[in-house]
Amino acid sequence: MIDAELALLRTHRNNISRYRRLLKTELTAFERRFIERRLAEERSAIEKLAASTFPLTFHTSSRASENATAPLTASSHG
């Protein structure tokens, strides 16, 4: 499963590189808009796939959350 997702990430990355190279060439306004739209779609796809493949989760204790929301006082600066 992870191999297929990594292959998709590589494909999106390669497409992004190709679109960036194309944007450096002489294009009509229509071609430029099309490539910019495709580039945005590829970036979005890679972000979604990366987020679903490698989700980040952080677990905190209840005490850590209390400390994070508590106002700082002169005595808490140490």
Q: What is the pLDDT of residue 78?
A: 47
3-state SS, residue 20 = helix
Domains in the chain: boundaries: 1-53
Q: Find the mean pLDDT for residues 50-63.
A: 71
Q: Is the pLDDT assigned to residue 62 strictly greater than 80?
A: no
pTM, entire model = 0.65
CA-to-CA dists, residue 61 to 66, 68, 75, angstroms: 9, 11, 23
Rounded Cα distance between 29 and 4, Å, is 36
Residue 14 has pLDDT above 70, yes or no: yes
* Mean pLDDT in residue range 54-62: 66
How many whole angstroms separate alpha carbon 39 and alpha carbon 19?
Answer: 6
